[in-house]
Structure 1
Amino acid sequence: MYAILDIESTGGKYNEEGIIEIAVHRFDGHEVVDTFISLVNPEREVQPYVAKLTGINSRMLKTAPKFHEVAKRIVEITEGAVLVAHNAQFDYRILRTEFRRLGYDFQRKTLCTVDLSKRLLPDAESHSLGKLVRSLGIPVSDRHRANGDALATLKLFQLLLAKDTDKTIVKDLVRAETLGELSPRQLDIVEEMPQETGVYYLHNRDGDIIYIGKSKNIKRKVNQHFTNGSKWARNLQKETRRVTFEKTGSELAALLKEYEEIKKNTPPYNTKKAYNGFSYGVYAYKDPNGFLALKAERANGQLKRLSSFGSLKATKSFLKQLAEQHDLTKKKSPNEHNAKIKGLLKKYSTQNRDIVLTDKGRKIGERSVFLIKNGCLEGYGFVDLNHQINNIHILESLITPMKGDAHTTHIIESYLRKEKTLKIVELKQ
């Protein structure tokens, strides 16, 4: 027996969310035998982005039943059933949190259609619910409402059950009752984590670092480590006794710091990756008519690199994007056209340049800075005042040295393509 579930929540701080709508379809493997759908008064504010996404606002929920009024019905319709949801970890956590507030230990086995679809539909372009059902021709209405998404999940689940002819995958993916739920020690660890950008470190009982990661939301990422059901994650969970972190404010700082510290510490749970820098790039050449032309090529030390890439496909995709966004046709004069290309080189390239990149800091008024000399990263740090950036001697004393290489160049140029960096400062010679 299965209980196909979808929950819409208020959003907000982790483990402080409330349910605003729930839909459950009890499914015996052949047909739906019971259904429960209801708005729920969460007794807390609905976040604006949730209201915009779902169309459900706090005013609509004032007369809706509170969770304690629907809790018994939820227990009954899910009794003896496996909870099935798209991203079941989220729905199960929210549901258990609500029951915990009532002093009730709600436990069910769970099955995630994201996991199942990845195994049975590995060639799907996306495994998000909306894109996946659309690609399969499954009709869906009331997207981002509990019943609309629950019915879409039900139809998807029926298709996946039919594809799972030997039934071994379903058995493998049914999780233990407490999976997705944290132990008291893990709850304490997660509670101490910030919902901010930075690098985090998982330690074993001896204090040794066994895993290093980075995230734009450290709390959420650490929680995911503790609720992941893979064999690798379960082993990591067993060994982890403490988690420490360092805020970076900047995502670029987190990316570089993670790379540098994994190299130095070689934690056993970090996948051994071959960091080969970059294999391809967009390069500028002058054609016979005096126009600078951009080409996607394998990297071999050419000059006038616009940006670096790990694959030819990504290189060509970016080149096409540039041509469309900046109208890189040869209709204008060579001088005007070439000025545009040189402007793009300054915007995206670090090759042979002495520059400082500035990004957001760890707090208001602070900025992170990245010193690059002759195209190579020298280090990063944090500043509060402009003169600390403009005075190279002060800047060099403030930064934490980092040994730049082809991979750090690739990280930085990839970040520049996202156009998140606040400013590029040319160093005065």
Structure 2
Amino acid sequence: MYAIIDIETTGGQFNQEGITEIAIYKFDGVNVVDQFISLVNPEIPIQPFVVKLTGINNAMLRSAPKFYEVAKRIVEITKDCIIVAHNAAFDYRILKMEFKRLGFEFNKQTLCTVELSKLLLPEAASYSLGKLVRSLGIPIADRHRAYGDSFATLKLFTLLLSKDKEKKIIKTLIKNEISQGVSPKLFDILEKLPLTVGIFYIHNSKGEIIYIGKSTSIRKKLTQLFTGTSKIAKRIQNEVYTVTFEETGNELIASLKEREEIVFNKPALNTSQRKSPFLWAVYAEKTKEGYISLKASKTDGRKKEIRAFKNQQSAVEYIKELSDLLELSYELNALIPKKNTSDYKSLDKNIYNQKIIAYIDQQQEEFKNLLITFKGRKTNEKSAIVIKDGDFQGYCFFDLNYQINTIDILNNILIRMTSSKEAVNIIKYYLYKKKDYKLIRF
């Protein structure tokens, strides 16, 4: 659990400042589960430059609660949380100082979104909160007010979680839970998991990721693993300490993330998933007479396929669809037994072959520069997968269309992933099988 915090102060001498406003969003990695926003009477004057910067003046704070009156609420909302702030050293120092004045030691683990942004957004022109969120297309209202800045930090932190391939943020969270002696049982773990599509990470008691999976219902899949009798399921049941997850909004992003995360993190129990599921493919091969024939065969990495499939039946069905669409010879494509005398030989070879070549070229061209958009993780959010020059670039989540229509913002919010033949096959297979997306060509 995270407590996303922003604090406004009076300014003044180091360690003599007072809090004028505080905003805290309690965030479970997916949703805000609690929030606290309040002006605070610091009982000392506000520096004039701070009044000009924040718009908060001494008169506004006369009837505001003093810090000791909100201290209990701050303790409650930050319980078992990692403190997250933009320039966390400042906000955490101010909180510790105020609690120390009350004779209370406030000790928490912290994460700084400035440092995380430098790590995960290395090409950003500036790491000041205002400039950084604008470059990401994140709207920010009431700049230099605690509630506006903390909400922008929350949006930024959500993006950073998605970009964190090494799962450093999640591992910090798990280590924090371990240090507190929290050891949830399987039922308790399941209760916290959503019934939505996404990817999940099973951690052991050292915080290490031992298994990565995906599902259209994360909780349902984990229930199967926690009650299963297979060798892998039993090991998971014995070794699981906790489960973290990421909602993806759709199956395609979940499939792409699962594949990349397994390759990148190499979890001990994911050995079978490291192999490609695309065991069959459709190839265009010339017969001895010079006609192009579509053939379904086991995947051969030395040859370029038209499309890859998970089984032979799907590959054959695809050949039949193309044969019907392009009016191709069933016999040439091995959809009916070869006859002794073949009427396909009366077809004009060049026209026949060109029809197939033109179709293949068209498919390649249509896949060249492409945005594939889906619904997002929430009602007001959408997601997109980006293809450029035929290569998979990555995915993003966006609230406003201008975020994907403005190339600089799109590049900034993009969660980049490795372009590989496997990733392209996953995307093409999904586009062939599903209809829950829109295509934008550019």
Q: TM-score, normalization: structure 2? A: 0.46
Q: TM-score, normalization: structure 1? A: 0.48
Pair member with larger Rg = 2
